[in-house]
Amino acid sequence: MNLDYKNLDTLESYRRLTKLPRPAHLRTLVTVDRIASSSVPAGGGMTYNYGAKLFSPEILGALQDLADEAGLIAKYRRILDGGIMNTGEKRMVLHHLVRGRPGKETTHGGRDLRAFYRGEQDKIAVFADRVHRGEIRGSTGKPFDTVVQIGIGGSDLGPRALHIALSNLRAGDGPFRKMKARFVSNVDPDDAAEVLARVNPETSLFIVVSKSGTTQETLTNQAFVLRRLEEAGIPGLDPKKHLVAVTSETSPMAKSPDYLASFFIDDFIGGRYSATSAVGGAVLSLAFGPGVFEEVLAGAAEADRLALEGDIRRNAALMDALLGVYERNVLGFPATAVLPYSQALSRFPAHLQQLDMESNGKGVNRFGEALSYPTGPVIFGEPGTNGQHSFYQLLHQGTDIVPLQFIGFRESQRGEDLSFDGSTSQKKLNANLAAQILAFAKGKDDVDPNKSFGGNRPSSLLWGEKLTPRALGATLAHFENKVMFQGLAWNINSFDQEGVQLGKVLASEVLSGAPADRELAAYARLLGVL
Amino acid sequence: MNLDYKNLDTLESYRRLTKLPRPAHLRTLVTVDRIASSSVPAGGGMTYNYGAKLFSPEILGALQDLADEAGLIAKYRRILDGGIMNTGEKRMVLHHLVRGRPGKETTHGGRDLRAFYRGEQDKIAVFADRVHRGEIRGSTGKPFDTVVQIGIGGSDLGPRALHIALSNLRAGDGPFRKMKARFVSNVDPDDAAEVLARVNPETSLFIVVSKSGTTQETLTNQAFVLRRLEEAGIPGLDPKKHLVAVTSETSPMAKSPDYLASFFIDDFIGGRYSATSAVGGAVLSLAFGPGVFEEVLAGAAEADRLALEGDIRRNAALMDALLGVYERNVLGFPATAVLPYSQALSRFPAHLQQLDMESNGKGVNRFGEALSYPTGPVIFGEPGTNGQHSFYQLLHQGTDIVPLQFIGFRESQRGEDLSFDGSTSQKKLNANLAAQILAFAKGKDDVDPNKSFGGNRPSSLLWGEKLTPRALGATLAHFENKVMFQGLAWNINSFDQEGVQLGKVLASEVLSGAPADRELAAYARLLGVL
């Protein structure tokens, strides 16, 4: 068990990795045998295939050594067992615990935290069932048919992406959906106003989500909603009877008697890792029923267990992480694209953007020492085939190589399809996905250089039969664990976000009316704030 | 008038630029005077401010020399005058002509093309007015209340982004909105099925948009819609009486008698530059009225005229372009973030992603010769303040510097706001925007390195009073012209997209059932296509 924390570039295995011959061209490397032997189960029925990635057997060997030398699995276990792995803020990192208990019992203040998180989800389930049965109703006596999540960052992006991903699904007897869901995040008043113009206050339940209970945007939007509901002039409407809180027990929100119900998380659940906690649990259980959310949790828990495997060839998240480190630090690629061939995952890249860039966009190691190697890449993406008609030109022929994370499913979610021009839409979708992997890997020569494709652009494929709630949970956890392993390899703290503080402080100065900095005042005047 | 086409790295001014001392730290550079003297009108009431960019007077001088030596304005005039500037495809580049005539008369086959484009928009306006008055109705006699755009890439991203951007606006007597609008783009069958589940076939008008009339996704989705409408079993419903075409006059679609109406573009309007042509004109004129779309055109036309100015300090698009070239080629920054502080611009970054990356993600110059310098960067972004709670951590403290394009407005669109905690939401929004510009530029030292901000991260600000249709048109054209100038500086053809062809060919091979490549077949089998 190696729990030394060393910078990547001090590891013997890493130094060796940098000296290994670069892999041959993917045109040569990608063979039927390689594709077949490069599959790793990722949980929830998902499989991670790295057959079109840039590596040689020697490189994989060095990456295995790197995983061992850096003690990545031991450090993951340390997270699961309640180690203080958010070093800057001196906190445990317990998002895995909201969906299972893959490590030891973890307590805080004498309380078993697995039981705490599980208990909150049980409370949510009871509450959601009562809302669905019409036992809990709006203040004018009407059943709730809409839930509005008010939150920003991790309280918005993950839950929103998961909500879209589940919206098409149907059970045997009809849609999963039990309530419509809307989201308000931005402090831009047009955001809340637009959503409020489209919902019926009498039948809407608003979930206010802020761990600290002090998030400026969220408190402002809560006030916005309360004011608008009061001004609606609906006889008998009591806005506070339409508000639910998701917050920590120690926050100002938790002390308020103003909420119809309150569900709790704590400081050990980071915002960007909170989609499987009450932050996502409340809105998704209300929108689709608690049983659907349990499936998401089960898929995530399975991925978490699989991520304990020490052999990188049998650990999807670890392999994904290490190939990414090789691409970033040895091959020097500055960005990564996430390309789900599923419209249901249309906002999943936006969630991963936060998850990855906020976790690993760090310039110092876990001890606060400046790093001399690159850490987290820029993450971006849109669903295919849409992206093919947008930015794939640069991915194929641009001057920088961008590694690609494809995601795909054999079946559509709704199962409504037609055959046109000899094939179904779903087959067209996946024919394009297969074609892109090959086109990026192998390229194609042409006498016209403008029509030549250099290829050698690496990609991986995370795929499953169908985007079920369980597959979705596993996919979410796969990326959480990938990001965690990369952060550990880079020897950084992936669980704080000090880089967001300065802007908050300066914005407060502006709003106080007297910013100390003259140039800040100049920009504020330009924008009509001062 | 310099119409030599030389690679960037052969220009004397560029060589000098690379040898100039790097600018001082932005902490020193950004002064009140500099902010005040760095504003350039960008059209439509918008102003481009580059006060927080990395430059010295010498660098600006060299960039002016570069503009002159490369003949950027002369080449822009050549585009406006109908030069064959899409060299690979041997076509004129005439998107500016859909919104004005800033150059000479341009004809093709004896026809004045300005009159042709203008005539199509006039036809659209008459059609939209008749639909709005209920003179043109659905096949069962009900007035149309919904328009569904079926298109992908440029037929989707630009029109969709503009539609969202205009959706909050109101005239004195109520909302601009005259019809709801929906968009279907992805060949994933869940996309069309989800939209169709939400619209009433009897009152819906479907606009099928494909310049070539052969786009696989769009023809498939057209068939999907027709089939579903036929199967709906609504007495008297004739699906073909609900379809409108936007295509070129030579396309298979143009020859079909199946459309209720057809509006035309031609080969001189590139997909990603087509938002102000009939591609955006039809859906936006139907959704908001032709008068609103005319304002978008007027704003774009104004930006196009301003882009003719030879002095870079008075040409917003040119200055933006050249500072970007300096950042990309001399400072070596690989990506650019677009950060609108306006929820209404939530999908504008996705449009710019196509516009920029598909135009300038090229590895060969306009003569097909390989380039030895980087061209278009990765483009990504989300609206503020949302992005602050997502990926700004990396922007502030990550190991790569990402230049930032902020966009902001003094007023909200809806004007519905509240004062909470001493300030309105709009003031909070803009206080955050001002704060971010300063935080990125100046940073802040701290005894704890984890809480230190190195700063020196350059940004620009495109701002206006309010996001009106005119401001929106100018903002759109600003970026189109910026991308054009950068492509000219890099000596590439920004108007073709050969990089999207190989994937199409391979996808067709898969769908034919017998791909030549064994590895392609392996991936296709994995995904259930073969």
Q: How far apart are CA A209 and CA B393, in angstroms?
A: 21
pLDDT confidence of residue B172: 65
d(C-alpha A188, C-alpha B421), whole Å: 15
Give the confidence band of B258 by pLDDT, cuts at 50, 70, 90: confident
From B31, B362, B412, residue closest to A398, measured CB to CB? B362
Q: For residue range A103-143, what is the model confidence (pLDDT) as tens digits?
A: 999 999 999 999 999 999 999 999 999 999 999 999 999 99
Which DSSP string do the residues of B219-266 spell out, in sequence order? Answer: HHHHHHHHHHHHHT--TT--GGGGEEEEEETTSHHHH-TT-SEEEEE-
Specify the residue for token string 């109703």: A137
> What's the CA gap between A525 and A520, in Å, rounded?
9
Please indicate if any CB of chain A lies within 8 Å of the CB of B499.
yes
Q: What angle do CA A107, A110, A116 make, to 5 degrees?
A: 60
Over residues B422-443, mean pLDDT: 98
The residues pairing with A184 across neighbouring beta strands, listed in sequence order, are A150
**Sign of CA pseudo-dihedral B88, A386, B482, B45:** positive
Letter string b/e over residues B205-220, b meaning 16 or more CB atoms within 10 A of that residue's CB: bbbbbbbebebbbbbb
pLDDT at position A255: 85
What is this structure's pTM?
0.97
Tens digit of each residue's pLDDT (9 = 90 or more) over B96-150: 999 999 999 999 999 999 999 999 999 999 999 999 999 999 999 999 999 999 9
ipTM: 0.97
Residues with Cβ within 8 Å of B366's Cβ and at least 6 positions away in sequence, in order, are: B5, B87, B88, B491, B492, B493
A142 assigned to active site: no
- Domains in chain A, CATH or no CATH each: 8-95+297-495 (3.40.50.10490), 107-296 (3.40.50.10490), 497-530 (no CATH)
Nearest-by-Cβ selection for B400 from A370, A374, A389: A374
Q: Which residue positions in chain A have pLDDT lower than 50? A: 1
Helix (H, G, I), strand (E, B) or coil at A462: strand
Give me A89's structure tokens: 């803020």
* B160 contact partners, CB below 8 Å, separation of at least 6: B149, B183, B185, B347, B351
Q: What residue of B is the nearest CA neighbor of A48?
A: B526
Asked if A175 is an interface residue toward chain B (Cβ–Cβ < 8 A), one would say no
Among B216, B416, B431, whose Cβ lies nearest the Cβ of A193?
B416
Answer positive or negative: Cα dihedral of A62, A64, A65, A70.
positive
**Does residue A437 sit in helix, strand or coil?**
helix
pLDDT number for residue B198: 92
What is the tens place of the pLDDT at every residue in B291-342? 999 999 999 999 999 999 999 999 999 999 999 999 999 999 999 999 999 9
Paired tokens of B23: 């600018």
Question: Do the Cβ atoms of A468 and A59 come closer than 8 Å?
Answer: no
Of B285, B147, B280, nearest to B225 by C-alpha is B147
CA separation for the pair A24, B375 (Å, rounded): 26
Which residues have a Cβ under 8 Å from the Cβ of B188 and sit 6 or more positions away?
A: A341, A342, A343, A344, A383, A385, A412, A425, A426, A429
Closest CA to A289 of A181, A414, A156: A181
Among candidates B488, B481, B404, which has minimal Cα distance to B54?
B404
Q: Give me the active site residues of B, please.
A: 358, 389, 504
- B189 and A417: CB-CB below 8 Å? yes
Q: Return d(Cα B466, Cα B440) in angstroms, integer.
A: 25
Please provide residue A387's backbone torsions phi and psi, each rounded to the nearest 5 degrees. -60, -30
Confidence of residue B227 (pLDDT cuts 50, 70, 90): very high
Phi, psi of A441 (to 5 degrees): -75, -50
Contact B189 A414 (CB under 8 A): yes
Q: What does the alpha-carbon distance between residue B253 and residue B207 come to, in Å, rounded to a whole number?
A: 12
Name the catalytic one among A104, A389, A444, A451. A389
The reply to whether A490 touches chain B by the CB within 8 Å rule is: no
Beta-bridge partners for A379: A336
| B336 close contact with A: CB closer than 8 A | no
Burial of A233 (0-12, 13-18, 19+ CB in 10 A): exposed
pLDDT at B1 (0 to 100): 47
Model pLDDT, residue A88: 87
The pLDDT value given to residue A1: 47
Which residues make Cβ contacts (< 8 Å) with residue B205, sequence separation at least 6?
Answer: B131, B138, B144, B146, B147, B148, B179, B242, B243, B244, B260, B286
- Sort strands A459-464 and A404-409 into parallel, antiparallel or unpaired: parallel
Give the helix/strand (H/E) hosting A408.
Answer: strand A404-409
Going along A80-234, which residue ranges are E strands? 107-108, 111-112, 146-150, 170-171, 174-175, 180-184, 204-209
- Calculate the average pLDDT of chain B: 96
Q: What is the DSSP string of B66-124?
A: HHHHHTHHHHHHHHHTT---BTTTTB---GGGGS---SS--EETTEEHHHHHHHHHHHH
